[in-house]
Amino acid sequence: MLDAIIAGQCPPLTRRAFAAQFGAMPSDIARIRQFALRHGFRIGDVSVPRRMLRLSGPTSALAEAFGVHRVIRSKGAISWNSYTGYLSVPGELADCITCVLGFNERPLERGGGAHRLGDNAVTATTPIASYTPREVAGLYSFPPADGHGQSIGVIALGGGYLESDLRTFFRQSHLPKPRFTSVSVSGARNSPRGTSAAFDGEVTGDIETIGALVPRSRIAVYFAPNSDAGFLNAVATAVHDPRQEISVLSISWGEAEVHWEVQTMRALNDTMMEAAILGVTVCCASGDNGSFADTYDKKPRVCFPASSPYVLACGGTTLLAKRSRIRSESVWHNATGASGGGVSTVFPIPSWQRLSRVPPAPNGYRGRGLPDVAANADPRTGYRFFALGHWHVNAGTSASAPLWTGLTARINQLSGTPIGFLAPVLYGKYEPLVRAGAVRRITKGNNGTYRARHGWDCCTGVGVPHGSKLARAIGVAVRRR
């Protein structure tokens, strides 16, 4: 099914068709219900399209039912529920349960980008240039569109936004304010100035950037707990949401592959594949630590979910402009961070990337290379946004992902249909896109282990966009389906 959609042999599925063909089987749900009732567990949310069922009950009883022991772990001032042992599924359910999440509530070490307020290493940086999101869109020649009719999702694993900040930002930007909707997942809510206030800038910067690019769009922010189960539930809810029906999803959160549990990665990657089947473009920040996604061991690693072969991984550049023209652009790499990129040691190289000269991972594995694309992400040449009553200048790859999200929404509007899984198109038509000027290679700089070069590289992918030319190229591809 996915191969046929990628090849343009059939259109993406509707959410109703997906639920009918690939949703959870009623008989499997009934078996899990019977198991829950026998053990005295309560049954919460049941989703057929997401194939998820929520159980609750005494932690000790749940742990015993799935073969683990509950423990409390901590790091510094942070503590969380976790477990020891190996999760196992009762034999009677082994053929219908693919993973069990929720026992490990370890928070992600960080978001994928650098919009966090209160992060002194970032906010103390003195910008050498700053831009509004629309100025950056102009430098990349985005096609004229306002996002009318487009529905966009944004993942938030902490932080929040103030309506007063949004009103100020769009009023002072002389733009109409998009319709923002806050969606609660697993009990998490929009909570600015709360316990995770360090991420208020992450959330506010993301949605103001997207909103400035497509002010007539609808933007849904999916708030979820900062845990593996929360992340999966947020993405699955966004992808399958029948009310919002998003066509683009922006994710600025991630962590080095080495820190993810295998079952969580598998389940989240499956959800990214479902997004592709549904025609949803997922734009992920590739990370802000260059080729060293795990800052502890200083070994070349990449971030997940940017390393999923079903997303558009967005890296970063340092962009300098004068009089609405780009003076120079290179790989972002300085004291503020670097463009995340490298080679996955989990996901094999996808078919559409095999001609891109992806190097082997340090352990020899022939994995998926990232990023796929790039855009301005250097906090020293950052984006202006308004949060908690003040103007800020910041960036990170959590700015380049929203920028590509806004571009995708504009192309969707102009095409009249979602472009869906974008990466195979960019790689499959790479040389024609370069000749047409639809993408521009970045050939200067490095991200630690890898250097920029002609063609795809582990610093900025295939390059940065010329939005209007890319829209024309993608539009032709869409109309031929």
* DSSP secondary structure letters along 311-356: SEEEEEEEEEEETTEEEEEEE-EETTEE---EEEEEEEPPGGGTTS
Say which residue the tokens 């890319």 belong to: 470
Q: What is the structure's pLDDT at 123? A: 43
In a domain, 174, yes or no: yes
Q: What is the structure's pLDDT at 82? A: 87
Catalytic residue among 105, 200, 206, 288: 206
Between CA 97 and CA 341 the distance in angstroms is 33
Between CA 387 and CA 123 the distance in angstroms is 13
Q: What is the structure's pLDDT at 60? A: 85
How far apart, in Å, do the first and last CA atoms of the chain sit? 15
In a domain, 110, yes or no: no
Pairing of strands 52-56, 42-47: antiparallel
In a domain, 114, yes or no: no
461, 315 Cβ separation under 8 angstroms: yes
Number of domains in the chain: 2
Catalytic residue among 191, 398, 400, 468: 398
| CA neighbours closer than 13 Å in the CB half-sphere of residue 17 | 8
Q: What is the structure's pLDDT at 119? A: 36
Quote the pTM value: 0.94
For the chain, what percent of residues have pLDDT higher than 90?
A: 76
Q: What is the structure's pLDDT at 323? A: 86
Between CA 38 and CA 311 the distance in angstroms is 40
Range of the domain at 59: 2-93
384 phi and psi angles, rounded to 5 deg: -90, 130
- Same domain membership, residue 226 and residue 89: no
Between CA 170 and CA 178 the distance in angstroms is 9
pLDDT in tens, 317-350: 999 999 889 999 999 999 999 999 999 999 999 9
- Same domain membership, residue 151 and residue 62: no
Show the CA angle centred on residue 275, arms to residues 270 and 301, nearest 5°.
55
In a domain, 109, yes or no: no
- Same domain membership, residue 310 and residue 205: yes
- Six-digit token string for 290: 């260059």
In a domain, 452, yes or no: yes
- Same domain membership, residue 333 and residue 215: yes
- Same domain membership, residue 51 and residue 137: no
In a domain, 219, yes or no: yes
E strand map for 349-442: 367-370, 373-376, 383-387, 390-394, 439-440
Q: What is the structure's pLDDT at 116? A: 45
Which of the two residues, 233 and 79, has the higher pLDDT score?
A: 233
pLDDT in tens, 54-83: 999 988 888 888 888 888 888 777 888 888
Interval 293-320 mean pLDDT: 94
- Same domain membership, residue 147 and residue 86: no
Q: What is the structure's pLDDT at 79? A: 83
Residue 475 above 90 pLDDT?
no
Q: What is the structure's pLDDT at 478? A: 42
Question: Is 206 a known active-site residue?
Answer: yes
* Pick from 323, 150, 169: nearest CA to 249: 150
Residue 103 above 70 pLDDT?
yes
Instruction: Name the domain boundary from 54, 75, 93.
Output: 93
Residue 440's DSSP bridge partners are 464
Interval 135-144 mean pLDDT: 97
- Same domain membership, residue 148 and residue 52: no
- Same domain membership, residue 79 and residue 161: no
Question: Is 398 a known active-site residue?
Answer: yes
Show the CA angle centred on residue 299, arms to residues 295 and 302, nearest 5°.
75
Q: What is the structure's pLDDT at 297? A: 81
With both helix axes pointing from N to C terminus, report the angle between 228-240 and 15-22 in degrees, rounded to the nearest 10. 120
Q: What is the structure's pLDDT at 134? A: 97
Q: Of the ranges 9-23, 237-251, 464-478, which one carries the lowest mean pLDDT score?
A: 464-478
Q: What is the structure's pLDDT at 9? A: 77
Residue 79's DSSP bridge partners are 74
Q: How confident is the model at residue 386 (pLDDT cuts 50, 70, 90)?
A: very high
Residue 353 above 70 pLDDT?
yes
Residue 219 above 60 pLDDT?
yes
pLDDT in tens, 174-199: 999 999 999 999 999 999 999 888 89
Interval 268-284 mean pLDDT: 97
Question: Is 274 a known active-site residue?
Answer: no
Q: What is the structure's pLDDT at 120? A: 30
Helix, strand or coil for residue 71?
strand
Could you count the other beta carbons within 10 Å of the beta carbon of residue 127? 17
pLDDT in tens, 460-469: 999 999 999 9
pLDDT in tens, 396-406: 999 999 999 99
pLDDT in tens, 432-463: 999 999 999 999 999 999 999 999 999 999 99
- Same domain membership, residue 139 and residue 79: no
In a domain, 98, yes or no: no
Contacts of residues 85-92 at CB distance under 8 Å and 24 or more positions apart, as own/partner, are: 87/263, 90/35, 90/65, 90/66, 92/31, 92/35
- Six-digit token string for 470: 């890319």
In a domain, 115, yes or no: no
pLDDT in tens, 422-431: 999 999 999 9
- Same domain membership, residue 172 and residue 84: no
pLDDT in tens, 106-131: 887 654 554 444 333 334 467 899 99
- Same domain membership, residue 415 and residue 268: yes
In sign, the C-alpha dihedral spanning 7, 420, 251, 188 is negative
Q: What is the structure's pLDDT at 122? A: 36
CATH number at residue 185: 3.40.50.200
- Same domain membership, residue 126 and residue 88: no
Interval 201-226 mean pLDDT: 97
Chain-wide mean pLDDT for the chain? 91
* Pick from 395, 335, 351, 329: nearest CA to 131: 395
Catalytic residue among 202, 208, 288, 294: 202
Between CA 265 and CA 90 the distance in angstroms is 22
